[in-house]
A and B are shown apart, each in its own frame.
Chain A
Amino acid sequence: MTEEKKKQLTVTLMKEKRTVPDEVKEKSKKFVRMRKAIKASLKEGPKSIPQLVEEMKLPTDVVTYYVMSLRKFGDIAVGELDEDDEYYSYELPKK
């Protein structure tokens, strides 16, 4: 990005008017962290939510929320349903 375009960014005007609350900064950090961790884990191969939970040592509902959100954003894809018809696996999207 050129210096000129940077100067033209309207977000700089908003920065003069608004301070970003800490909890918003925290939300952003949390999402970036979770995306990185889930994608890094799925690099090893498809995994189900219980398998991710086991690895990440986080509450199952939190992992479910981020897995479902990442699926919606297209960062991860859905794999197979297990033999017991209980859990799907999730994987990195095939290029």
Chain B
Amino acid sequence: MMNNNMNSPEQISTNKLEYDVLVIGGGIAGQEASLNLANNGFKVLMVEKDLSIGGKMIHLSKVFPTLDCSACIATPKISETARNPNITIMTYSEVEDIKRNGNGLKAMVIEKPRYVKADLCTGCPICEEKCPVVVEDEYNYGLTGRKAAFIPFDLASPRIAAIDIENCTLCGACERACPPNAIDFSMEKKEFELSVKSVIIATGFELFPAEKKKEYGFGQFKNVIHSMQMDRLLAPTRPFNNVLRPSDGRMPDNIAYVLCTGSRDLSVGNPICSQICCMYSIKQAQLLLGALPMTDVTIYYIDIRAFGKGFDEFYEQGKSMGVEFIKGKIAKIEEKENGNLTLKYEDFENGGKTVEADHDLVVLSVGILPNKDVSGFFKSEPIALDIHQYVKQEDELMSPAKTSIEGVFVAGTSSGPMDIPDSILSAGAASAEAAAFIRSLK
């Protein structure tokens, strides 16, 4: 279990904050940028919107192409970030209105109430056991429920509870049961005025909402799931006891992947390639063949983009393990009475004729979209976005982290689709550019 962050805002006694760098977002890119700066003596404030840092990576099963356990790599880094004396982390907080302030920048940071005192909560989790309300668990993408008093997820950092006030019946069971009296419904939002010399945007990406591709039936057919749900089903901290169908808990034996769901698709307003879906789908297919040896896995693709180091070999490895690849475009998915699904597709290798195939679980390999929060940070001096609404890199070749605002840099998938190694590289560039910028002010 990870220790709770020692530098939490509970220790901050004033509402005026001063740091060298504000890092917005605590995913892998935000952590890497913060650690680089902190280890070079800069004071960093990391502001994370969620109840825990970790971003998407902490929820993944394994990572392509090495198939290392994702949490095993992510957890030590999260711990290192949380314990670094030069990094202060504010979770469940948001940044508003970043403005120029002489040589530096100032901003408002708003910390929302979690109704649990961070310095008292031990993560026991008695409140969770006592709470009588169950709602969809967002960290398992709705596959299971969670309580209204809840620890976000097993590997959360800080590992402390929160109360989902919107779904709370105010029964008081959690407060009565909490041994250290950590639950406090009188908590209110707090506002902080922040001065910094530089800002790094590391707010990551959004998943393409699969329900937008109506013809695939996501949200309507229980056995059509998206790839992040499958990564959860394959993770050691998985929501089910194995990879099972959400419709009836049966082990699937004939799984289909639909690549490019919501990518390279003008009909849903996202014309670009998401760069990661081919590889994470091949990763999941290999993991499925390991977890369910009797299962067939078919990947329907338009073309496989295996351009990175070791990627083509990873694709070949998938084929040799028995993953079937069909070059075809899925036009429609229909549900049968037993929850199985019929895929109607244009078979590119057979003259484009329409073919039907049955599967008992379908995974939509959803693409990634820009995080629209970024524009909201800069109301008085808007930040430039590229034509796809990612943060614009002003000098992609020579200074890849530079944005349109002096002193503001970008890291990871905030500037475009990329995998974990590239997000780390990009965070390295952002921290180096921010450090050089701060030194130039002296």
Interface residues of A (CB under 8 A from B): 1, 5, 9-15, 18, 20, 24-25, 27-28, 31-32, 48-50, 53, 60-61, 64-69, 71-73, 78, 81, 85-88
Closest Cβ of chain B to A50, distance in Å, is 7
| Residue in A28, A48, A85 whose Cβ sees the most chain B Cβ within 10 Å | A28
User: Whole-angstrom distance between the alpha carbons of A25 and B132 in the complex?
Assistant: 10
Main secondary structure of the interface of B (DSSP, over half): loop
Say whether B169 contacts A24, CB under 8 Å.
yes
Interface string of B241-254 (1 = CB under 8 A from A): 11011111111000
User: What's the nearest-Cβ distance from chain A to residue B229, in Å?
Assistant: 12
The distance in angstroms between the C-alpha atoms of A11 and B242, with both chains bound, is: 39
Contact of B239 among A18, A27, A72 (CB under 8 A): A72
Query: Are the CB atoms of A69 and B144 closer together than 8 Å?
Result: yes
In the complex the two chains form, what is the Cα distance from A34 to B1 in whole Å? 31
Q: Chain A interface: which of B96-104, B170-178, B207-215, B387-395?
A: B170-178
Residues from chain A with Cβ under 8 Å of B244 in the complex: 64, 88
Nearest-neighbour CB distance to chain A for B225, whole angstroms, equals 12
Q: Within the complex, what minimum Cβ distance (angstroms) separates B184 from chain A? A: 5
Most buried by A among B129, B133, B165, B166: B133
Could you list 5 further interchain pairs (A-B, Cβ under 8 angstroms) beyond the known A61-B248, A65-B246, A86-B251? A27-B134, A64-B247, A68-B249, A73-B129, A88-B249
| 0/1 interface trace, chain B 30-56, chain A, CB 8 Å (1 if under) | 000000000000000000000000000
- Taking a contact as CB atoms under 8 Å apart, the answer to whether B145 and A85 are in contact is no
Chain A: CB-nearest residue to B133: A28
**Contact of B134 with A20 in the complex, beta carbons under 8 Å:** no
- Which residues of chain A are within 8 angstroms of B294 by Cβ–Cβ distance? 85
Q: Report Cα–Cα, A87/B176, bound state, in Å.
A: 39
Taking A1-B176, A10-B184, A60-B247 as contacts, is the C-beta distance between A28 and B132 under 8 angstroms? yes
Do A15 and B170 touch (CB < 8 A)?
yes
Name B101-122 residues within 8 Å CB distance of A.
Answer: none
| Cross-chain contact A50 with B170 (CB below 8 angstroms) | no
Interface residue count for B (Cβ, 8 Å)?
Answer: 41
A38 nearest CB across to chain B (Å)? 12
Are B145 and A65 interface neighbours, CB within 8 A? yes
- Nearest first, the 10 closest Cβ-Cβ pairs linking A and B are A69-B145, A49-B249, A14-B185, A10-B185, A11-B172, A31-B134, A60-B248, A78-B241, A28-B133, A64-B249
In Å, the complex CA distance between A20 and B143 comes to: 25
Of A48, A60, A67, most buried by chain B (CB within 10 Å of CB) is: A60
Selected from A28, A60, A67, the residue in CB contact (under 8 A) with B169 is: A28
19 pairs from A and B in contact (CB 8 Å cutoff): A5-B176, A10-B185, A13-B185, A14-B170, A14-B186, A18-B170, A24-B168, A49-B249, A53-B248, A60-B248, A64-B245, A64-B247, A68-B239, A69-B144, A69-B145, A72-B239, A73-B147, A81-B251, A86-B250
Closest residue on chain B to residue A21 by CB atoms: B166
Contact yes or no, B241 A71, CB < 8 A: yes
| Interface flag for B183 (CB, 8 Å) | yes
A-B contact count (CB 8 A): 106
Q: 1/0 per position for B160-199, CB-CB distance to A under 8 A? A: 0000011111111001100000011110000000000000
Q: B117-155 CB contact bits vs A (8 Å, 1 = yes)? A: 000000000001100111101000001111100000000
Known contacts A50-B248, A60-B248, A61-B222; A10/B175 CB under 8 A: yes
Q: Does B325 contact A (CB under 8 A)?
A: no
Cα distance A18–B166 in the bound complex, in angstroms: 10
Chain B contacts for A13, CB-based, 8 A:
185-186
Q: Which chain B residue has the least Cβ–Cβ distance from A88?
A: B241
Q: A65-B145, A69-B145, A85-B251 are in contact. Are A20 and B184 (CB under 8 A)?
A: no
For B147, the chain A residues whose CB sits under 8 A away are 73
Whole-angstrom distance between the Cβ of A65 and the nearest chain B Cβ: 7
Q: Which residues of B have CB within 8 Å of A50? A: 248
In the complex, which residue of chain B has the Cβ closest to the Cβ of A79?
B241
Kindly state whether residue B437 has any CB partner on chain A within 8 Å.
Answer: no
Known A72-B144, A87-B250; contact A27-B241, beta-carbon cutoff 8 A:
no
Task: Decide yes or no whether B378 CB sits under 8 A from chain A.
Answer: no
Task: State how many angstroms separate the Cβ of B43 from the closest Cβ of chain A.
Answer: 34
* Residue B19 CB within 8 A of the other chain: no
| B92 surroundings in chain A (CB, below 8 A) | none
CA distance A64 to B244 in the complex (A): 10
- Closest chain A residue to B295, Cβ basis: A85
Assess whether B143 is in contact with A68, with CB atoms less than 8 Å apart.
Answer: yes
Known: A18-B170, A20-B169. Is A27-B135 also a contact (CB below 8 A)? yes
Residues of A with C-beta under 8 A to B339: 60
